[in-house]
Amino acid sequence: YCYKDNQKIYDFVDLSEKVLEEFPKIVLFFTSLEPVDLTEKFFEFLQKYRQKVFPHFHIPLQSADNRILEEMKRKYTIEEYVEKIEKLRKIIPNLILSTDIIVGYPSETKQQFLNTIRLIEKINFNWVHVFPYSPRIGTECYRKYGDYVPYDTKERVREVIKISKFLGEEYFKQLCKV
C-alpha cells in the first residue's frame, strides 16, 4: 500500500490521512489488513482519527502456531498478533474483529489445531472465516507435502464454524441486550 509522487513515497497511513483531510465528512472502513500493516504509525493514526474510522477490522490470523505461520511464509508471530490486537482494543474499545483461519494444513497436529481454537476464544473474535487447506500446485507447500490433507480437516472446519457462530451470537446478544 503506497503511492509515489514527486519522489515522495506515501504509505498506507499517509494515504488514509490524506483521504480524511480531503474528505472530512467520510468514515474509513478498513476491510482487510495484514498484521504487518498494524504499525506504530497506524496506531498513532487511529488515536488521532478514531472517530473517523469504522470500528470493524478484519485481520487474518491463519493459525495460532508459529511454526505453521513460518511454513505459510507469514511475516508475524502469534505473540506479535496478540499484542497488536490488544493495542487495537485499547484504542477502539468497541472494536468489531474478524479473522481468517486455515485448518488442515498438512503439518498441523491436533495440538496445534487446539491452540488455534484456544486463541480464537481468547481473542474473542466476532466472526471467523474458516477455510480448509487446499493443495496448490507450484507452491513450496505442494512440493513438500503433495496432495496430503489431514483426514479430519472437515471436522476441524465444523468445529471452528461452531465456535465462530457462538462468539458471533454472544456479541449480537450484547448489542441487542438479549
Is residue 46 a part of any domain in this protein?
A: yes
Average per-residue pLDDT in the chain? 93
Inform me whether the pLDDT recorded for 56 exceeds 90.
yes
What is residue 8's predicted lDDT score, i.e. its pLDDT?
Answer: 82
- In a domain, residue 7? The reply is no
Does 8 reside within a domain?
A: no
Residue 64 forms part of a structural domain: yes
Domain membership flag for residue 5: no
Average pLDDT for 147-168:
95
Tell me which residue range forms the domain holding 47.
Answer: 14-176
CATH number for the domain spanning 133: value is 3.80.30.20
pTM summary value: 0.90
Cell of 90: 485499547
pLDDT at 2: 60
Q: Residue 178: what pLDDT?
A: 56
pLDDT category at 166 given cuts 50, 70, 90 is very high
Give domain status of residue 83, yes or no: yes
Q: How confident is the model at residue 46 (pLDDT cuts 50, 70, 90)?
A: very high
The kind and range of the H/E element at 102 are strand 96-103
Task: Give, for 166, the enclosing helix (H) or strand (E).
Answer: helix 153-176
Q: Are 28 and 54 in contact (CB under 8 A)?
A: yes
With a cut of 60, say whether residue 1 has pLDDT above it.
no
Which residue is associated with the grid cell 485499547?
A: 90
In this prediction, residue 29 carries a pLDDT of 94
pLDDT of residue 6: 76
Per residue in 77-106, pLDDT (tens digit) is 999 999 999 999 999 999 999 999 999 999
Burial 70-98 (b: 16+ CB within 10 A, else e): ebbebebebeebbebbeebeebbeeeebb
Residue 166 lies in a domain: yes
4 is a domain residue: no
Domain count, the chain: 1
Has residue 43 got a pLDDT over 60? yes
